[in-house]
Structure 1
Amino acid sequence: MTDSRRRDFTPSMKLRNQRLLQDVDCPRAGPLNVAFILLEHFSMPAFTTALDALVTANLLREMPFYRMQTYGVTGGSVRSDLGIDIMVGGELAELLHAQVDLVVVCGGYRVRLETLPTLNEALRRAAQHDCRLGSLWNGSYFLAEAGVMEGHTCTIHPENVALFSETFPQLELSCAPLVVEGARFTSASAGSALDMMLEAMRQRLGDDLARSVEEILACDRPAQPCAWHVEQQLPVPDSHLPEALRTILTLMSSNLEEPLSMSEMSRYVTLSRRQIERLFTRHLDTTPSRHYLELRLTRARQLLTQGNASITEVTLACGFVSTTHFSHCFRDYFGMSPSRARQRS
């Protein structure tokens, strides 16, 4: 049960801690069904990057946002570009009767660009039922082959541009790594696969969830099993902020174990306490003390959930005067005790 005194993190720091908070604002309950069609020699990095976005989203709430299913042309196993065989959950014929929100065709460098009648039928049926369609690497070739890209710009891996242009001269092809147009999403490489899934996530579930997933995948790093002194992963000050404010934010991030006083920071940037408070209010919509506390709690969350430090060690590493004070602050923001947070992780 959450504490009645629970406080909300300021928006930027809430994103950093969303994994434990598990209270993402979302316009619909879900879960949404996503089908990945794996073609022989599909790009494993592109597929796993796209899949990771959905798996990570599911970590942010007890009820999953997504259900994922994999399909192959004939079922059984499909060989990836890395030579690793992946067992799929079903064959394309089964997809014809499935209720799906998004279908993603997973291509790859050595995927043969050919006509696959069952795939064409599955994609056409999905389009007729207002299903969203996406592709990875050269998967857009198969979307075009099925006739579901009329009126849409798309992209494809550079190696396949010549064949695509010759085969589908009526379609507009972009050189961008990612093209999103309404219910069509095409990605040209593993590097843009994450962005594609984040855009698909924004459409259905909102920007809050997509930004939270992006923060986790871009910033969080696993700790060594026996190490408690995890390298802190805290936000880099926005380059558009005033230089004095960026300096203060860097000072705070660099001094979590022994927090600086306002007078110390004031002397360092040659600004008065009131001037510093105005900077935080105007640009971050918070106070210096609250931001500093949230930074320390963020680091505490990382240490608790990524390592095996004791509560006392975390207390000292994050600049709290006692374990009691630390536990109270942690509960106020996360709605649970530090020990409970570790168990949930």
Structure 2
Amino acid sequence: MAKVNVGFILQPNFSLVAFTGALDALVTANLVSPEPVFAYQTYGLSSAVTMSDVGIEIAANGTLKSLETDFSSFDVLIVCGGLRCSLSEYSPLSHILKSFDKQGGLLGGLWNGAVALAHANLLSHQECAIHPDNHALMKEQFPQVRVSRNTLVVTQHRATCTGPASALEMMLKLIARYRGAEIVRAIREILSCDITSADQDAIPLQMADDPTLPEPLREVLELMRKNIEEPLTLVELADHSQVSRRQMERLFHAHLDSSPSRYYLELRLRHAKRLLTQTNESITNVAIACGFVSISHFNNCFKDSFGMTPGASRARSVAGKTAAES
């Protein structure tokens, strides 16, 4: 039986725990099989030594330049992202991903590795999973990509996940596809202390998906989430959810310890903060994208919520990324 070849592309500051979770699944698969059934290689972008998010350097098997000469031997290529990974396009990586896609292989992304796939135009009109902190970026820069609310999405030619736990679960789904469910059951017996559910992709990422909340409240939360740029009034929210405004306010106070208006404002401001740190959009455009018609009102609300102006928040983010990359 031919081995399934998996390649991991390590971006600077990649999540070490997400990467090792995915790799652990493959290593354990080989341990529980009569003979190794998976082979794996690692590649840095421009250097074979790549710094992880926790400051530990990983010596990869090669770089993108060396991968370009033998990527045709791989069945799966996975881009490893992380909280502090660059979200800008890296042309050599886009070239590799596009070339690999043409040969029909499966492309994956850990944490925010899906951003690299989106830059290569390989997620258009497809669903993907990505860390919640990067939802705003994906929706703003890649509107043709359907961002999932689930922790992982595995399709015929794509596999994406949001973080460490889902990285392991995503890899188990791929192992089941290539080598069957029996080997996955054996892996789960060994790693059972780390695997809480066989359906990690069903774990909700947003408050509106919390099944413990009353249905009317979840409907209001979903409406808020879908109407950031043009906020609905409280009357409109209540009408669409078929509850009275007084009942809606009671639900928010009882379950979220907040008022509907305050929760909605904080939701829009959190979205604004993500756009400020993850895109190059002007502060004016960010304000408009988050439903603010007055820049001064936006500045005041943002400062009240985060203790700094939008401009200072962006400057701090830029300074942090610069320090991380140096």
The TM-score range, normalised by the shorter chain, is 0.5 to 0.7
Query: CA RMSD, aligned part only?
Result: 1.3
Structure number with greater CO (CA < 8 Å, separation at least 6) is: 1
Structure 1, unmatched stretches of 5+, are: 1-28, 221-345
Match of 1:337 in 2: none
Structure 1, residues 69-104: CA drift from partner, whole Å, max 9, x if none? Answer: 000111321000110011110011222232101111
Match of 2:143 among 146, 169, 174: 169
Alignment size in residue pairs: 192
Question: Could you say if the C-alpha distance between residues 214 and 110 of structure 1 is closer, same or farther in structure 2, counting changes exceeding 3 Å?
Answer: same
Percent of aligned pairs sharing the same letter: 42
Report what 1:53 is aligned to: 25
| 1: CA distance, partners of 2:143 / 2:8 | 27
The correspondence of residues 1-345 of structure 1 with structure 2, limited to 5 A, is 29-98=1-70, 99-219=73-193
2:33 touches 2:183 (CA, 8 Å); kept in 1? no
Deviates more, 1:116-125 or 1:145-154: 145-154
CA contact (8 A) 2:125 2:145 kept: yes
Query: Residues of 1 paired with 2:22 and 2:30: CA distance?
Result: 13
Tell which structure's C-alpha radius of gyration is larger.
1
Residue 62 of structure 1: how far off its partner (Å): 4.0
Could you list the runs of 5+ residues in structure 2 that have no partner in the other structure?
195-326
- Note if contact 1:93-1:122 (Cα within 8 Å) is conserved in structure 2: no
Report the TM-score when normalising by structure 2: 0.57
SS at match of 1:134: strand
Which TM-score applies when normalising by structure 1? 0.54
Distance in 2 (CA, whole Å) between partners of 1:61 and 1:181 is 25
Which residue in 2 is equivalent to 1:305? none
**Cα shift readout 1:247-292 (whole Å, capped 9, x = no counterpart):** xxxxxxxxxxxxxxxxxxxxxxxxxxxxxxxxxxxxxxxxxxxxxx
Contact persistence 1:32–1:67 (CA under 8 A): yes
4+ residue segments displaced more than 3 Å: none
2:81 and 2:113 in contact (8 A); partners too: yes
Question: Contact 1:96–1:121 at 8 Å: present in 2 too?
Answer: no
Q: Helix, strand or coil for the counterpart of 1:51?
A: helix
- Decide whether the 8 Å contact of 2:51 with 2:58 is kept in 1: yes
Q: What is the CA-CA distance between 1:161 and the residue it aligns to?
A: 1.0
Aligned-pair distance for 1:219? 4.7
Following the alignment from structure 2 to structure 1, what is the Cα–Cα distance between the partners of residues 125 and 2? 29
- Distance in 2 between residues matched to 1:202 and 1:30, nearest whole Å: 16
